[in-house]
Amino acid sequence: MPLRFLLSSFVLLALSATIAHAESSCSATLEFANDGSIADWVVCHRGVPQSFVQSAQRRFQVRASVNGTPTVEALQWDRLQRQNDEIAFRATDSRRSFEILRTYHRESDSTLTHSISIRNLLGRPLPEIQLGMELGGSLGTEIQSARTLADYVYGFSRADLATDTDDWRPASSGDQANRFAMTSRHIALVIDGPQLFEIHVDTEMPESTDSRAEPNQWTVDLGPVQLGAYESQIFQHKISVLSTQTNVLAQAGYDGLMFSDLWGPLATLSKWIESAFSGLSRIFGSLGIAVIVLAMAIRLITLPVSLWATRKQNEYQLVADKMKPLIAAVRDKYKGEEQSERIIAIYRENKVTPFTGLKGSVGLFLQIPFLLAVFNVTTASSIFDHQSFLWILDLSQSD
């Protein structure tokens, strides 16, 4: 009776913690600066606000230069309110030689479609115009590092790119792609378009009094624009802010971004472990219980091998104890090559090798991939964000 009562209390506490957390709510926020850059972007993740852009660091500011001379300061922007889910910004240069029109359409709280149209206002060709967008620094500048082992092993943030496929790789300055993602622990900002663009990163520390300022300022160069008389050119993109969870990224078409920095088989195993956590949490109503159940399942799966390895280790230990005085006698009596030959002969007579003892470690070696996969899921996936269990308010945070 006491055991049944304790188990019931355990389950009820876990369920009540999960339900209490699920009842929390928040509101999504999307705000723009006067020049059309994104000034504030907050989405709701499990009822908790998740910030991707803050006013201290605007993102997606358009920059333009003519023959290498920047014209950003000379652009005069106007805000054009259209429909409820669409907003536009228009700018002309000081000489009124070209016009830039950028339009955002809000597909969902976490997805925008974005277009930049540049049009020649003159009856003659324009000099070459270099058009780009400043994405800002890494997402890690806007959230506090937990200073956990994961932060030091994996780095607090990274940038990846892909071209036409979902095969993501680390980004470096000068690379060309049509997909670019900035990722920090548990959040990702992705820009995706049909046209190739070039990635650049400014490694110099910006002049700023903001303690969060950092040198890696990413820029997307849309390419040189050659416009004849009254011609125009348009660039289209999809901008998404997403939680780093396999099913969330897969729904957005970026399944390969999850665990893209891992070796292929380990990345696949990590996705399986993450999926198992998610499925078990739906069954038991608690991610904490899901962790316990999965740990027991992995232990049961590896148990036959572990028992076999233990038996082999015990058998080898008996043989090793038998050989020990024989080997000691050989080492006392013989030296050099003859000593080695006689020791090898002793191993051969007992039908073992110096490496036979490693069979006892097979069970441990079998568990290592699972341990690495679980570590990657608990550090890189957002599945544990804002998930409580008993007295633990957030399973994604360190003690």
- Output the pLDDT for position 7: 46
Q: Examine the domain organization and report whether 252 and 368 are in the same domain.
A: no
Q: How many CB atoms lie within 10 A of CB 312?
A: 18
Q: Examine the domain organization and report whether 151 and 206 are in the same domain.
A: yes
Phi/psi for 337 (5° steps) reads -65, -40
Hey, what amino acid is at 80? L
Q: Examine the domain organization and report whether 203 and 105 are in the same domain.
A: yes
3-state secondary structure of 95: coil
pLDDT average per 10 residues of sequence, the chain (399 residues): 45 44 64 87 78 71 79 77 82 84 91 92 88 80 48 63 85 89 86 89 56 65 89 92 89 89 88 90 85 87 83 81 83 80 81 75 80 86 78 69
Q: Examine the domain organization and report whether 149 and 295 are in the same domain.
A: no
Phi/psi for 236 (5° steps) reads -120, 145
The DSSP letter of residue 382 is: G
- Output the pLDDT for position 6: 42
Number of domains in the chain: 2
Helices (H), 144-223: 149-154
Query: Does 178 map to a domain?
Result: yes
Query: Does 97 map to a domain?
Result: yes
CATH number at residue 60: 2.70.98.90
Query: Does 16 map to a domain?
Result: no
How is residue 18 written in tokens? 């999960």
Q: Examine the domain organization and report whether 75 and 197 are in the same domain.
A: yes
Q: Examine the domain organization and report whether 251 and 370 are in the same domain.
A: no
Q: What angle do CA 150, 153, 155 make, to 5 degrees?
A: 80
Q: Examine the domain organization and report whether 107 and 186 are in the same domain.
A: yes
Q: How far apart are CA 193 and CA 164, in angstroms?
A: 9
SS (H, E, C) 327-338: HHHHHHHCCHHH
Query: Does 209 map to a domain?
Result: yes
- Containing structural domain, residue 103: 38-257
- Output the pLDDT for position 115: 93
Helices (H), the chain: 2-22, 149-154, 246-251, 264-284, 287-333, 336-349, 362-380
- Output the pLDDT for position 11: 46
- Output the pLDDT for position 119: 92
Query: Does 121 map to a domain?
Result: yes
Report the sign of the C-alpha dihedral through residues 52, 55, 57, 61, in that order. positive
User: Please, which residues have CB within 8 angstroms of residue 160's CB and are 6 or more apart in sequence?
Assistant: 168, 169, 170, 171, 180, 181, 183, 257, 260, 261
Q: Examine the domain organization and report whether 196 and 104 are in the same domain.
A: yes
Q: Which of 96, 95, 129, 132 is nearest to 116 (CA)?
A: 132
Q: How far apart are CA 180 and CA 184, in angstroms?
A: 14
Q: Examine the domain organization and report whether 214 and 303 are in the same domain.
A: no
Q: Examine the domain organization and report whether 293 and 244 are in the same domain.
A: no
CA distances from 322 to 178, 235, 328, 355 (A): 67, 78, 11, 17
- Output the pLDDT for position 81: 72
Q: How far apart are CA 289 and CA 15, in angstroms?
A: 10
User: Please, which residues have CB within 8 angstroms of residue 225's CB and are 6 or more apart in sequence?
Assistant: 118, 128, 129, 130, 131, 233
User: Please, which residues have CB within 8 angstroms of residue 133's CB and are 6 or more apart in sequence?
Assistant: 60, 61, 62, 63, 116, 219, 220, 222
Q: Which of 114, 77, 115, 116 is nearest to 93 (CA)?
A: 77
Q: Examine the domain organization and report whether 92 and 225 are in the same domain.
A: yes
> Got the DSSP string for 123-134?
SSPPPPEEEEEE
Q: How far apart are CA 179 and CA 242, in angstroms?
A: 14
Query: Does 229 map to a domain?
Result: yes
Query: Does 341 map to a domain?
Result: yes
Per the rule left: phi > 0, alpha: psi between -120 and 50, beta: everything else, 286 is beta
Query: Does 12 map to a domain?
Result: no
Q: Examine the domain organization and report whether 253 and 291 are in the same domain.
A: no
- Output the pLDDT for position 203: 65
